[in-house]
Amino acid sequence: MAFAAGSQHGLRYGIQDAFGTPATEMTSLRHTSCSLVPPKRDGKESEELTTERQITDLALGVKKVAGDFGFELSYGEFDALMQALLGGTWAAAYNLTSQTVSVNSSTKKFSRSSGSFITDGVQVGDFITTTGFADAGNNGTFEVSAVAALEITCATATGLVTVVGDTGVTITTSTQKLENGTTSRYFTFERAFGDIVQYGAYQDIQVDSMDLEVKLEQKVKGKFGLIGSGVVTYSDTPIDGSVTASQENDPYESFDGIIKIGGEAVAIVNGVDLKVANQGEADYVVLNNGDATAAQMNQLRFKLTGDLDLYFTDLTYHTLIMAGTESSLDIYFGTPASGLAYRIYLPRIKFTSLDDSVSNDKRIILKAPFQALRDDTTNKTMQVWCFPGA
């Protein structure tokens, strides 16, 4: 008889078409732990009194499913879950159509006479694709090396042809952008116990939270928190006989990327934690033909908090944090120009306190908790970019 071991534990997910409709196509999911377990039910003891001092019955409550799985962040592996967490949709960061564009083949610049490429979202490290030019050499995919309001420079571009005011040009990007929104998505998760060939299927799962931790000498790691309707079945047959494989990109190291506060790169960060929460809950009804599972799921307000640890070098950030000054936070994992990178952008954060206490003879660390808020310009709390590269 085989005993199930964590060394042969598998985790899979499938995207449901709707609540109550289980997925049939599954994708393997890289993970470091999993606490998604069969439903928990609270017991309510009967209040009947007897001469024997005994409890005569126990009523079982609703079926509650909640748990999480740990992960090491890697490119492309968790995009569907990130999308569900934010309630948004991955989309091209920009798709600029019907443009009138000039090209300087010497300076390798694409320019126009009005508008702002910066406002449109073009960034250094993006890979833009141009179409609609009369000269074929100007149509292609190029890496952005500099951006100004009226100019995009692609320093490594080859084969460009100088033209003035070519019309009907489209400039788009392979870079994808995700923002917090209000779309609810549901998944079916399956746990696979490979050594004993058993499977546990969890239906109507929502991604309720994400904790992300960047610490010295560690992989970038975190946890996705999950909640479900309570519909759970175990069997010796998997949902999908040909599961789609996981991505194979290496997890990010803590030094893979940069961090910016207020748009300025900071080289004194000791660690950063992010906590994203939808504050979801399951809704149950009474007199439901004995069905103790949830009738629907609900997500409350989108909330993002975090902690920033900084070496104490001078009063620059000490003063900013103490004053409660609003700022922004940029976290890059990987390098956009190299591809396979992410950018997490919080356009408006407010620090809530500052701890500069000393407990030993080591470096003093400024500990600064913060909360992200809706930004008036973007109307968003959180934005994520993924850079696939050329």
321: closest CA among 381, 360, 369, 250?
A: 369
Q: How far apart are CA 221 and CA 153, in angstroms?
A: 35
Query: Which pLDDT score, from 0 to 100, does residue 70 have?
Result: 98
280: closest CA among 66, 30, 69, 116?
A: 66
Average pLDDT over residues 71-82: 97
Query: Which pLDDT score, from 0 to 100, does residue 361 have?
Result: 94
Angle, CA of 91, 92 and 97, to the nearest 5°: 130
82: three-class secondary structure by DSSP = helix
Label residue 143 by pLDDT band (50, 70, 90): confident
Q: Any idea where the domains of the chain sit in the sequence?
A: 9-37+61-89+179-387, 94-174
CB atoms within 10 A of CB 119: 9
The answer to whether 84 touches 185, Cβ cutoff 8 Å, is yes
Query: Which pLDDT score, from 0 to 100, does residue 346 have?
Result: 96
190: closest CA among 27, 21, 20, 8?
A: 27
The answer to whether 112 touches 103, Cβ cutoff 8 Å, is no
Residue labelled with tokens 């590269």: 389
Q: How far apart are CA 171 and CA 377, in angstroms?
A: 23
Query: Which pLDDT score, from 0 to 100, does residue 256 have?
Result: 86
Question: In the sheet where 95-104 sits, what is the strand order?
Answer: 140-143, 127-131, 163-173, 95-104, 109-111, 151-153, 146-147
pLDDT at 390 over 70: no
Torsion of CA 197, 198, 201, 202, to 10 degrees: -120
Average pLDDT over residues 363-387: 94
Tens of pLDDT, residue by residue over 180-205, are 999 999 999 999 999 999 999 999 99
Domain 94-174 CATH class label = mainly beta
The answer to which of 269-283, 324-338, 349-363 has the lowest mean pLDDT is 324-338
Query: Which pLDDT score, from 0 to 100, does residue 63 have?
Result: 93
Q: Does the predicted TM-score (pTM) go above 0.75?
A: yes
Tens of pLDDT, residue by residue over 10-57, are 999 999 999 999 999 999 999 999 999 999 999 999 999 999 999 999
Q: How far apart are CA 191 and CA 207, in angstroms?
A: 16
pLDDT at 313 over 70: yes
Q: How far apart are CA 245 and CA 238, in angstroms?
A: 15
In which element (H, E) is residue 286 found?
none
Give the side-chain half-sphere CA count within 13 A for 302: 19
Tens of pLDDT, residue by residue over 220-233, are 999 999 999 999 99
Mean pLDDT of the chain: 94
